[in-house]
C-alpha cells in the first residue's frame, strides 16, 4: 500500500499552506501559463533572467497541494541557478517523481526537492508535480504557448 505520509510530507504541506514567491512579477523577463485540464490546476510562472542566470522566480495560480508546493519549492530552489543548472534539475525532478532516482548522489543533489519522491507511488499525481516544472522550462525557452500536462 502506498503511504499517504510519503506523499503529503510536512515540507509539502507547509509550502501548500504558505507558498513562497507567490505573487505576480511585473518586471518578468518571461512568463508562461501552465494548465492541467483534467483537474483544473492553473499556474503562471514568472522568470527574471540576468544573462544565463535566474535572478528571481515567482508564480501565481491555483491547484492541488502537490502542484502548488511543487511550484513553491521549485521557486526557492531555482533562484540564483543558471539556465543549464535549472535544466538539469528539471531532468532530475522528472526522474524523481517517476521513481527513477536510486542513487544517494542524486538524492543529495535534489535537496529539498527529494520531498517529492513519494509522488512516484501515486501515478495519478505525477502530472500535478511536474506541471510547474514544465511551465518553467517553457518560460526558460521563452516559449509563450500555454503548457498542458494532458
Partner 1 sequence: MKNTAKISNHPARTFSVEEVRKDFPILSMSVYGKPLAYLDNAASSQKPNAVIDALGQYYRSENSNVHRGVHYLSEVATKKYETARVTVQKFLNAESEREILFVRGATEAINLVAATFGRKNIHAGDEVLITELEHHSNIVPWQMLCEEQGARLRVVPINDAGEIELEEFDRLLSGKTKIAALSHISNALGTVNPIKRMIQMAHQHGVPVLVDGAQAVPHLRIDVRDLDADFYAFSAHKVFGPTGLGVLYGKANLLESMPPYQGGGDMIKSVTFEKTIFNDIPHKFEAGTPHIAGAIGLAAAIDYLDAFDWNVVQHYKQALLHSATETLSAIEGLKIIGTAKEKAGVLSFVLEGIHPHDIGTILDQEGIAIRTGHHCAQPIMQKYGIPATARASFAFYNTEEEIHTLLAGIRKVKKVFGHV
Q: Which of 4, 23, 88, 141 binds partner 1 (CB under 8 A)?
A: 4
84 counts as binding partner 1 under rule CB under 8 A? no
Residue located via cell numbers 510562472: 45
Provide the 3-class DSSP secondary structure of residue 21: coil
Q: Please identify, using beta-carbon distances, which residue of 16 and 21 lies nearer to partner 1.
A: 16
Query: Distance between alpha carbon 111 and the CA centroid of its chain, in Å?
Result: 14
Q: Which of 34, 63, 118, 132 binds partner 1 (CB under 8 A)?
A: 63
- Number of residues binding to partner 1, judged by CB under 8 A: 22
Of 41-60, binders to partner 1 (CB under 8 A) are 41-42
- Closest C-alpha to 47, from 129, 131, 145, 140: 140
Options 6-14, 83-91, 109-117, 141-149: segment touching partner 1 (CB under 8 A): 6-14
- Are 53 and 80 within 8 A, CB to CB? yes
Tell me how far apart the alpha carbons of residues 60 and 65 are, in angstroms, rounded to a whole number. Answer: 14
146 counts as binding partner 1 under rule CB under 8 A? no
Q: Please identify, using beta-carbon distances, which residue of 42 and 134 lies nearer to partner 1.
A: 42
The torsion angles phi and psi of 52, rounded to 5 degrees, stand at -95, 5
Cell of residue 35, nine digits: 494548465
- Closest C-alpha to 32, from 132, 150, 139: 139
134 counts as binding partner 1 under rule CB under 8 A? no
123 counts as binding partner 1 under rule CB under 8 A? no
* Sites of contact with partner 1 (CB under 8 A): 1-2, 4, 7-8, 13, 17, 38-42, 62-66, 68, 122, 124-125, 128
Amino acid at each position: 500500500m502506498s503511504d499517504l505520509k510519503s506523499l503529503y510530507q510536512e515540507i509539502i504541506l507547509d509550502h501548500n499552506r504558505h507558498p513562497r514567491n507567490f505573487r505576480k512579477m511585473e518586471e518578468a523577463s518571461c512568463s508562461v501559463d501552465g494548465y492541467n485540464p483534467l483537474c483544473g490546476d492553473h499556474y503562471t510562472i514568472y522568470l527574471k533572467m540576468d544573462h544565463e542566470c535566474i535572478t528571481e522566480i515567482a508564480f501565481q495560480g491555483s491547484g492541488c497541494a502537490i502542484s502548488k508546493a511543487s511550484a513553491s519549492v521549485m521557486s526557492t530552489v531555482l533562484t540564483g541557478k543558471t539556465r543549464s543548472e535549472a535544466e538539469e534539475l528539471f531532468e532530475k525532478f522528472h526522474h524523481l517523481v517517476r521513481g527513477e532516482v536510486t542513487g544517494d548522489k542524486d538524492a543529495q543533489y535534489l535537496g529539498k526537492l527529494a520531498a517529492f519522491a513519494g509522488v512516484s507511488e501515486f501515478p495519478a499525481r505525477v502530472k500535478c508535480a511536474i506541471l510547474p516544472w514544465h511551465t518553467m522550462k517553457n518560460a526558460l525557452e521563452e516559449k509563450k504557448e500555454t503548457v498542458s500536462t494532458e
